[in-house]
Amino acid sequence: MAVKQDGTPAEETEPGRRGPAGQSPQPPQPERPGRQASSASGLHAAPADIALVLVDFDDTLVDTAPRFLGARRTLFTRLAHLGFDDARARVVHHEQIDPRMMRRYGFGPNRLAHSFRETYRVLCEDQGLAADEIILAELEAIGRAVAGTPPLLGGALDALAELANRLPTVLYTQSGDPEYQLQCVRDAGVCEILGAERVRVCERKTADAFREAVNHFGIAEPALVWMVGNSVRSDVNPALTAGAHAILVDTPEPWEFDVVDPVSPDFVHVRSFPEAVRFLLELSGTQPEGE
């Protein structure tokens, strides 16, 4: 079961079907992994027991991706202007340098300054060139510029409040700099809804880290737990591996690191976090009458 980042509430239209309110037929859409979540009806004969919902932060509640994507576009444009082959620059950055910097500095914006500098340095080394210190500083500044609290996605905070009022809910996020991440969570207004004690930041979202988070909040049975997030790698796969459920929230331009195969097709796919909340409330039988 799965969910990912921003989108519009789903009344999904299948290829060739008419959209809501008699709109013109919608063009065929690429097949998306997971089960579509236009309705929870039929999944359970009776309301499902949900002991805990874990909600991702970046690109689920807040719009983080555009800053990172924009910074990388600027990096590759600059490198191309310097005469480096674009395809080679992308391979060096995505497959060599950024994974190494991720291991050293963790998730979050802090690694990008190092990653951008090192990508340029390695490309220079490949061609027997000396790296220019001014350009190194320029690329480092581009990487550092992504820091700061991202803007909220539409309807995300209201949906989080509704979810937390009806089901046990925690924020579950990852970062190489926990204090920075916590400050972004506070600035976004999440702690005003959940309380700081319902926020958990791990270094990296793995299946073991997921189990630790579930145990931390006193849940012994993973099958009663749902994970909502925008990453197959970091949200869907760890939850499914641990025996929990997952909802993948769409993101318009997924990060290359997140583009992996799901370990199972048994997850739900939605277009936005508010849609995921509606699905969970309907599934649990806690949706207020008339909604």
Contact between 24 and 18 (Cβ < 8 Å): yes
> Of the candidates 235, 211, 215, 226, which has an alpha carbon nearest to the alpha carbon of residue 282?
226
pLDDT band at 260, cuts 50/70/90?
confident
Which residues does 77 contact at the CB level (< 8 Å), separation at least 6?
none
pLDDT band at 183, cuts 50/70/90?
very high
User: How far apart are alpha carbons 259 and 247 in whole angstroms?
Assistant: 16
Looking at residue 253, its pLDDT comes to 75
Which residues does 60 contact at the CB level (< 8 Å), separation at least 6?
3, 4, 5, 153, 156, 228, 229, 230, 235, 249, 273
pLDDT band at 46, cuts 50/70/90?
low
Whether residue 30 has pLDDT greater than 70? no
User: How far apart are alpha carbons 118 and 234 in whole angstroms?
Assistant: 25
The residue ranges of DSSP E strands in the chain, in sequence order, are 3-4, 35-36, 52-55, 169-174, 199-202, 225-229, 245-249, 268-270
Q: How much is the average pLDDT of 75-95? A: 96
